[in-house]
Structure 1
Amino acid sequence: MSDSAQRDSSLRAADTDRIQAAQLLTDAAAQGLLDLSEYESRLNKAYAAETYGELDRLSADLPVIANTRRGACKPAPSTVLLAILSGFQRRGRWNVPQKLTTFTFWGGGVIDLRYADFTSPEVNIRAYSIMGGQTILLPPEVNVTVDGSGVMGGFDHVEEHGSPGAPKIRIHGFALWGNVGIKRKNRRPHGPDDVS
């Protein structure tokens, strides 16, 4: 989002403006300025906002420190996470790339998107597990499409619909003698360090 003083509040907001508003709200929640229910309520409104004015109202009562991010929102670079006889984890606050590939072979991994910052309105995850397993944890508001299958293993499917305007996550892949677990999970009041 650009500075609200320099823009017409009736102009239509773009996907990148909504993503940046979501990041500002996450910053505020991380600083303890918003409790979990208020944060999630404002986050859903940010994703559904159509104008700059609607987005600006969501952070108008927050101190300047929560409104320090300005400028263009750029997608994070494509990322590959490998677990070959080992493991990987992405938890807490991290930038979700537009393209993410995960592969486990006799290993395991966890991708937790509940506290992450989305840098693109669409995210493509290619998840592969061979004699290994991985879990993808989704926040309640995202929209999801799953196109994966398991051969002598499992590839979970979840409810597709989240909040209008929220990021769309497409998960593709397969599991051979392994598992790709996909779960919608609520955020915890204690934040990303609470792994339960």
Structure 2
Amino acid sequence: MTPRPENLARLVGDDERDTAVQRLREAYAKGHLTHEEMDERLDQVLSARTHGDLATPLAALPDEDAGTTSTIGAATGRIKRRGPWRVPRVLKVESAFGRVHLDLSKAIIDHPVVDIELQVGTGRAKITVPRDAIVEIEGLHTGLKDARYTPRRPTRPGGPKIRITGAMGLGRLKIRHARR
């Protein structure tokens, strides 16, 4: 996706830099870049200050894999994911009436940032994140009950960032970090 001209002067954040590095790694792994091209472009991404600076090293790369967005939905009943499952870059969870339980503690997380979009009518949602994850819930709108989350300091650097957005109707969202 090409940034709009007015966004080219905007400063690059850590999330955007991490996403650019991930795109380069994927392109290299799929054979779209030589080792030398990968090194050169990686240096450009790591020294980029603006979105315009990021445009050059990402130019001519294949578009991001559309399969990195998944939707899980149920009108009634439970939505449950646990154990070793692969977490997509963007996960949309839609439940009208029922419970949602996402356990990311043993999940395979390939992306530095994972966006989880919740659309829950009634019912509760519980998300267990890895011990070293950083969680953001600023984009979540709650109806009747507030979300329960106590941030913790990561025990080691480099954990994934989990951004939770969307809307909770009448239920409550509970987020906790895995113990190990």
Partner in structure 1 of residue 150 of structure 2: 158
Mapping 1:14-163, distance limit 5 Å:
77-147=68-138, 148-159=140-151, 161-162=153-154, 163=156
What SS is found at the alignment partner of 2:137?
strand
After TM superposition, the score normalised by the length of structure 2 is 0.58
What SS is found at the alignment partner of 1:181?
strand
| Number of matched pairs | 118
Partner in structure 2 of residue 180 of structure 1: 173
Q: Per-residue CA shift, 1:108-151, capped at 9, x if unaligned?
A: 12110000011111101111221122111012111111122321
Q: Per-residue CA shift, 1:40-91, capped at 9, x if unaligned?
A: xxxxxxxxxxxxxxxxxxxxxxxxxxxxxxxxxx896311111311111110
Structure 2 letter corresponding to 1:183: R
After superposition, the CA RMSD in angstroms is: 2.4
Distance 1:89 1:115 in 2: 14
What SS is found at the alignment partner of 2:150?
coil
Give me the identity figure in percent: 26
Q: Which runs of 5+ in 1 are unaligned?
A: 1-13, 17-73, 188-196
Q: Per-residue CA shift, 1:11-60, capped at 9, x if unaligned?
A: xxx965xxxxxxxxxxxxxxxxxxxxxxxxxxxxxxxxxxxxxxxxxxxx
Q: Which runs of 5+ in 2 are unaligned?
A: 1-19, 23-64
